[in-house]
């Protein structure tokens, strides 16, 4: 609903639980909150749900989700949205969480001027707001052949591609584009790569050209037609239709640093075993949270957000059990696993839950 004051209109939303972050962990949290009968809103600064997966590698295969030998990022996000859809979470996208007011619950204000009233808050913001590290040269050609992300690999078909970087994103994109592009070269300023060793081995056995101990000296053309690379004091020219800058990101928790939370190194919200932060009623899960023995994986985040939701439920109702019971008892009518329906789909059958686009 919206409340009007003078000539200004402020959008106001009132829910049991506000989830800050619409990545995979936040989307699974929306499902789990629905299972516990909690009204939910999901807030994210990006214009689409899915977080870094949607923004950076929707076509990349993900291997650490239980039950899936491999699943494309885009499919994982679509499945998570479909899983939460029967519980109708509200999606507040394209706006950042800014202010936090405490009182009878919480009021979170957004960069778009909205006010979200929530009885509990769960932060699943990943690494926070992430800004790609710029190229030392050629950044002015961003959008003219220079890019930071590869959301649609098919756009690179038949092109000469140069990727700058030595981390997982650089190597993963190189492997993804090798069978599609005309040529792929990876330029890295060191001899060794930070990417997963197996991925590096696969890249070394492929047709990808690997140029190490090298720097991009100049970007040629507008739009880009080539790059000059400095290697051991010599300059070599490489054909290039797309220059992918995969140099990592500068992460920033932004306004969350002012919320009165216990935050380590301005990066991670410290939580207990219940995923509770230092602020009662405010929880965190996924890459953004920190505790002893923390392992940053999507698989870990799914368990953390389930723990956060169930403990938030007990926080809101101290007489309630943290344990949710058997989730088959909550299956929406007609859904997989509900009474009278099969427990699995068969290859070629449509999903029993139709995904609707978030508002």
Task: Output the known binding site for FAD.
Answer: 44, 52, 57, 97, 130, 287, 328
Question: What are the residues facing 216 on neighbouring strands?
Answer: 229
Q: Where are the beta strands (DSSP E) in 21-159?
A: 40-44, 61-62, 71-72, 90-93, 97-103, 105-110, 115-123, 129-132, 146-147
Which amino acids are annotated as binding site, given as ranges? 44, 52, 57, 97, 130, 287, 328
N- to C-terminal Cα distance for the chain? 14
CB 10 within 8 A of CB 59: no
Burial of 161 per CB tally in 10 Å (0-12, 13-18, 19+): buried
| Angle of the 197-204 helix axis to the 168-177 helix axis, nearest 10 | 40
Cis peptide bond prior to 232, omega within 30° of 0: no
- Characterise 189 by phi-psi region: left (phi > 0), alpha (psi -120 to 50), beta (else): alpha
Q: Which of 315, 304, 303, 299 is nearest to 268 (CA)?
A: 304
Kind and range of the H or E run holding 175: helix 168-177
Q: Find where tokens 């090798």 sit.
A: 178
Give the CA radius of gyration of the chain. Answer: 23
Q: Where does 9-72 have alpha helices with state H?
A: 24-35, 51-56
């Amino acid at each position: 609903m919206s409340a009007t004051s003078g000539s200004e209109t402020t959008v106001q939303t009132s829910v049991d639980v506000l989830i800050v972050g619409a990545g995979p962990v936040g989307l699974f949290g929306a499902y789990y909150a629905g299972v516990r009968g909690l009204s939910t809103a999901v807030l994210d600064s990006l214009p689409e749900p899915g977080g870094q997966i949607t923004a950076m590698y929707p076509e990349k295969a993900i291997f650490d989700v239980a039950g899936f030998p491999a699943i494309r990022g885009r499919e994982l996000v679509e499945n998570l949205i479909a899983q939460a859809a029967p519980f109708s979470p509200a999606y507040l996208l394209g706006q950042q969480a800014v202010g936090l007011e405490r009182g009878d619950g919480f009021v979170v204000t957004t960069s778009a001027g909205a006010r979200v009233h929530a009885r509990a808050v769960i932060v699943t913001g990943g690494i926070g707001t992430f800004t790609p590290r710029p190229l030392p040269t050629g950044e002015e050609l961003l959008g003219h052949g220079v890019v930071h992300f590869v959301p649609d690999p098919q756009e690179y078909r038949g092109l000469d591609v140069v990727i700058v970087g030595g981390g997982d994103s650089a190597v993963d994109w190189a492997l993804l584009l090798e069978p599609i592009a005309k040529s792929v070269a990876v330029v890295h300023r060191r001899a060794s790569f930070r990417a997963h060793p197996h991925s590096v081995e696969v890249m070394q056995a492929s047709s990808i050209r690997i140029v190490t101990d090298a720097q991009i000296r100049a970007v040629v053309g507008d739009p880009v037609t080539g790059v000059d690379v400095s290697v051991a004091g010599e300059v070599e020219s490489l054909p290039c239709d797309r220059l992918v800058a995969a140099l990592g990101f500068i992460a920033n928790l932004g306004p969350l640093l002012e919320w009165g939370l216990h935050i380590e190194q301005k990066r991670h919200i410290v939580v207990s075993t219940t995923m509770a932060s230092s602020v009662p009623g405010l929880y965190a899960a996924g890459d953004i949270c920190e505790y002893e023995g923390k392992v940053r994986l999507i698989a870990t985040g799914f368990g953390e957000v389930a723990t956060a939701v169930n403990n938030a439920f007990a926080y809101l109702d101290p007489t309630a059990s943290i344990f949710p019971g058997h989730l088959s008892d909550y299956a929406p009518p007609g859904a997989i696993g509900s009474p009278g329906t099969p427990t699995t789909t068969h290859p070629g059958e449509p999903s029993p839950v139709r995904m609707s686009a978030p508002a």
